[in-house]
Structure 1
Amino acid sequence: MEQNYINQEEVSRRIPGRLAVNKVVRGLFLTSTLFGLVVLAILLYDVITDSWGWIDWQFLTSVMSFNEEAAGIIGAISGTLWLMLIVGPVTMIIGVATAIYLEEYVKEGRVRTFFETNVANLAGVPSIVFGLLGLTVFVRLMNMGSVVLAGGLTMSLLVLPIVIVSAQESLRAVPSYLREASFGMGATRWQTIRSVVLPAALPSILTGMILAMSRAIGETAPLIALGIPALLIPLPSGLFDSFTVLPVQVYYWTIDAALNQNYASLAAATIVVLLVLMFILNSAAILIRNKFQQRF
C-alpha cells in the first residue's frame, strides 16, 4: 500500500514536467510549420508580383521570340504535355506491374528484399544522375537525340521508383480476407489480382501516379543533361520531334535575366503557369483519393 502511494506521488511530481515538455515540443512543431508557410508565402508573393501584367492570352499562345514583349510559352506547354504522354503510360504499366510482382508473386526472402532495397535506393538518387543515364542510353547509345521520346523515357526512369513504392503500399492496404474469399471461390491468383486486388487499390495507385507526374513536370536537371533547348523551334508534333518544357524555359530565362530584367518577369510568369498546372494535378489526386477511397 505504501509502495503504491509513493508511486502515485512520484507520478504526480512528474506530470507538470511532462506537460511543460509537451508544450515546448508542440511550440517547436508549430514554429516549424509557420516557418515553412511564411517562406512559401514570400516566394509566391515575389513570383506573382514579378509576373503581374505578363500573363495574358498572347503569352500563353505565342511561340518563343527574341523580343521579350512578344515571347510566349505555347512551345513549352506543348512539350510538357507531350512529355506527360510518355511518362504516364510507361510509369503506370511498368510501375504497377513491378509492384504486383513483388507483392503478389515474390515470397518473403532475400530476392524480395534485394528488389525492394534497390527500388528504395533508386528513389533517393539525384535527378541529374537519371539525366546522365538518359543521355548515355537514349540519346547516344540508341541515337534518338534530344527528342520527346528520349526525354519521356528519362523522366519515366526518374519517377518509376516512386510509382513502384506507392503501388506496393496500395496493394498492401487491400485486406487479406478479400484475397482469401476470392481464392475460396476457386479463382486463380491472376483472377484475384485482376478482379479484386487491383480495383480496390486503384484509387491509391492513381493518386501516387499523379503525384509522381507532378514531380516529373517540375524537374529540370535531367532534361538539361539531355540537351533540351529553349530556342525558336517548331511545336512538337510527334515522339521524335525536338521540344522544350516549362522548367527548362524558366531556367534559361532566369539566366538571361542578368542581361535583361524583362526575362525575370517572363520566368516568373512561366513559374506561375507551372504552379497552376501542378496544383491542378495535385487537386486531381486528392479528389480521386477522396471519391474512390473504399472503407474495409
Structure 2
Amino acid sequence: MAPGNVSSVTEFILLGLTQQPELQLPLFYIFLGTYVVTMVGNVGLVILIGLNPHLHTPMYYFLFNLSFVDLCYSSVITPKMLMTFVNRNIISHAECMAQLYFFSFFVIDECFILTSMAYDRYVAICKPLLYKVSMSHQVCLMLTVGAYVMGLVGAVAHTGCMLRLSFCDGNIINHYMCDIPPLLQLSCTSTYINELVVFIVVGISLIVPSLTISISYALILSSVLRIRSTEGRSKAFSTCSSHITVVSLFFGSSAFMYLKPFPAGSLDEEKVSTVFYTIVGPMMNPFIYSLRNKDVQMALSKTLRKRVIS
C-alpha cells in the first residue's frame, strides 16, 4: 500500500445522473427548478423564523438549523450536478475532496438535528410540565453544537481516509457528485480502512439517531394513546407527522445507500437513492413543516402584511 496519497489522478470526470442524451436537457430544467424552489423555501423559512419572535421556541430553533443545513448541502451538490447535464463536468482532485468533506459534514449534521427535533417532541408531549427546563436555551445550544461537532468529526474521518488512497485505475466517477462508494471503486490501493470508517461513522450517524427517534416516538405514541379526547390525540399526532415524514425520507434513502457491503448494488440504483436525500429532501422539508403548521402560516401572513403596509 502506498504510504500517502501518491495519486496520479489530478482530476475526475463526473458522469452525472444519466448518459441518455434525450434526457439531459429535461432533467437539467427539472433539477434547476428544484434547486430554485429549495433555495426559496429554505431561505424563506430561515428569514421567517428569524423575524418572528413568537417562533423563537426550541422546535423552530431546530427547524431554523435544519433549513440552514438543507440550504448548505444542497448548494454543495446541485450546481455541480446541473453542469453534468450540459457539458463534460471535470472536477479537480482538491475540489472533489472538498465536496466530499462538506457533503459529509452537512449530512451528518442533519441526522443529529432531526434526532434533536424528535427529543423536543418527546419532551413536549410526554413531559410538558418540565418542557421549559428540559428544553432550555442552554440545552438547545448544546444539542446543536453537538450535531455540528459530530458532523465535523465524521467529515474529517471520511475525507482524511479518502486522501490516503491512490487513484490510478481511472478518473471517471459514475455519479453526479464525489461520494464515497464510486470513489472507492476507482482506488488502486486497499480500501479496507475506508470501508471500516464508513460502517463506524455511518453506523453512529444513522443507527444511533434512528434508534433514538424510534424510542422517542414509541414513548410519544404510548403517551398519546392515553389521551382521552380525540381532539387532543389529533393535535398531538399533527405536531409529529411532519417530522416523521422527513425522517422516513432521509434515513430510509441514506440507509439504502450506505448500510451495505461495498460494492454491493449497482451505482445507478445508488444514484437514484442519493437524489432523495440530497435533492428531494431539502426541497420538500420547508413545505412539509409549513403547509400544515398554523404558527408558520400566521408568521408568513403577518410578515407579508407588514411588507405591504410599509
Verify same fold: TM over 0.5. Answer: no
* TM-score normalised to structure 2 length: 0.30
TM-score, structure 1 as length reference = 0.31
Q: Which has the larger radius of gyration?
A: 1
Larger RCO: 1 or 2 (CA < 8 Å, sep 6+): 2
